[in-house]
Amino acid sequence: MPRPVVVLAMVPQFTRQLFTDAHHARLAALAEVPEREPLSAFGDARAAALLPRAEILLTGWGCPPLDAAALAHATRLRAVVHAAGTVKDHLGDAAWDRGLLVSSAAVANAIPVAEYTVAAILMANKRLLRLRDRYRALRTFRWWPKEAPGLGNYGKVIGLVGASAVGRAVIERLRPFAFAVLVADPHLDAAEAARLGVELVGLDDLLARADVVSLHAPALPETQHLLDARRLALMRDGATLINTARGALVDHAALERELVAGRLEAIIDTTEPEVLPPDSPLYDLPNVFLTPHVAGAMGAETQRLATLVIDEIERYARGEPFRHGVRREDLPRLA
């Protein structure tokens, strides 16, 4: 049986992060890879030479849109295997109309996001944001539960907005802790919530009850500013908002007002806009822990994504279905 031809398409620097020599050797044993260097555009001479040969397009961050013009060259293309999360950025109607098989490493990318989230939850409930600066200023003993009301993780209520791949990975990792876990998700039913061991509630109820609210919903037109001024006002005084999903889920101006007032605390990895302006108060507020969109796979963590996509290519080469396939009808529920 001939080996499938695999062509890579992504920002070149990500290829060097993703694939170790062992990954390249394994891929070469499964498939014909004409060039290790990925395509970064579909309209140049390299693409004109490689796309007609491709049976599988191995994509990653920065892959250009696979539009009708590119597909016209990719006459043998049957599958797209994405070594990252969302496929929405590069697969539009033309690709889905073609009936391509599609797989994504979103489930592998969910793992470091879930790990970041659990660390953030534990840190938030120990009131580390408040206590770090207070201890630095005082440099002496205090009765810290009085300095930081609500200090401690035992018995806290954790609210997860979205039972996505990340949301479910967070649920799994919260099991060892003495938390009550609430989930708000219109696509989750009571039976599945019971199987996951969480309480299914409405979003407003979750916001009013939770000590920590963590966002794991996709960025869709209907989730734009899901947490607006009214909903942010429902959160308890001193509650913490964690956002590792998308900045657009939150009305940034309304959140900024709450944070400047000091009523809420926040651990934020994704913002709107993606890089805040230099004069944003969120950089300096003592009740905000701000990171530059690093919760997802970074550095060596990306190699988990490489392993997953090569596993998928091996299944394809054996004539088996993808384990992490993405269907067109799934898109409205995916990030």
CATH number at residue 66: 3.40.50.720
pLDDT-above-70 percentage for the chain: 100
* Widest distance between CA atoms in the chain: 73
On whether residue 1 sits in a domain, the answer given is: no
Assigned domain for 278 exists: yes
Rg (CA), the chain: 22
pLDDT of residue 228: 98
Q: Is residue 239 part of a domain?
A: yes
Same domain, residue pair 100 and 137 = no
Query: How far is it, in rounded angstroms, from Cα 50 to Cα 273?
Result: 36
> 222-270: per-residue pLDDT in tens?
999 999 999 999 999 999 999 999 999 999 999 999 999 999 999 999 9
Q: Give yes or no: residues 212 and 121 share one domain.
A: yes
Domain membership flag for residue 270: yes
What pLDDT digit, counting tens, does each position of 117-128 carry? 999 999 999 999
**In 264-319, where does DSSP find H-type helix?**
302-317
Residue-level pLDDT at 320? 97
Number of domains within the chain: 2
Query: Does any domain span residue 256?
Result: yes
Above 90 in pLDDT, residue 16? Answer: no
Residue 1, pLDDT > 80, answer no
Q: Is residue 124 part of a domain?
A: yes
Cis preceding linkage at 273, omega within 30: yes
99 in the same domain as 203: no
Which burial class, exposed, middle or buried, applies to 187 when counting CB atoms under 10 A from its CB (0-12, 13-18, 19+)?
A: exposed
* Mean pLDDT confidence for 77-95: 95
Q: Are residues 185 and 310 in the same domain?
A: no
| Nearest-angstrom CA–CA distance, 157 and 212 | 7
pTM: predicted TM-score of the whole model, two decimal places: 0.93
**Do residues 177 and 43 both lie within one domain?**
no
pLDDT value of position 42: 96
**Do both 137 and 245 map to the same domain?**
yes
- DSSP string for 219-242: --GGGTTSB-HHHHHHSPTT-EEE
pLDDT of residue 231: 98
Task: Please give the structure tokens belonging to residue 91.
Answer: 């697969």
| Dihedral of alpha carbons 107, 113, 119, 122, sign | negative
Residue 141 covered by a domain:
yes
Residues 148 and 196 in one domain: yes
Cβ 317 vs Cβ 310: under 8 Å: no
Same-domain pairing of 75 and 178 = no
Which domain does 308 fall in, by range?
6-104+299-333
Beta-carbon contacts of 51 under 8 Å, excluding residues fewer than 6 positions away, are: 7, 39, 42, 70, 73, 74, 77
Task: Tell me which residues are annotated as active site.
Answer: 246, 272, 293
| 264 and 161, same domain (yes or no) | yes
The pLDDT of residue 292 is above 80: yes
Average per-residue pLDDT for the chain:
95
* Residue type for position 61: W
Instruction: Answer yes or no: do 49 and 188 share one domain.
Output: no
Same domain membership, residue 130 and residue 31? no
Q: CA torsion sign, 57 to 61 to 64 to 68?
A: positive
Q: Answer whether 217's CB lies under 8 Å from 95's CB.
A: no
Determine the average pLDDT of the residues in 176-190.
Answer: 97
Tens digit of each residue's pLDDT (9 = 90 or more) over 215-231? 999 999 999 999 999 99
Residue 333 pLDDT greater than 90, yes or no: no
| 38 in a structural domain | yes
Angle between helices 302-317 and 21-30 (to 10 degrees): 10
List, in order, residues 6 or more apart from 289 with CB less than 8 Å away. Answer: 120, 123, 129, 266, 267, 268
Does 132 score more than 80 pLDDT? yes
Query: Distance between CA atoms of 238 and 258, rounded to whole angstroms?
Result: 10
More confident residue, 176 or 1: 176
Do residue 251 and residue 155 come from a single domain? yes
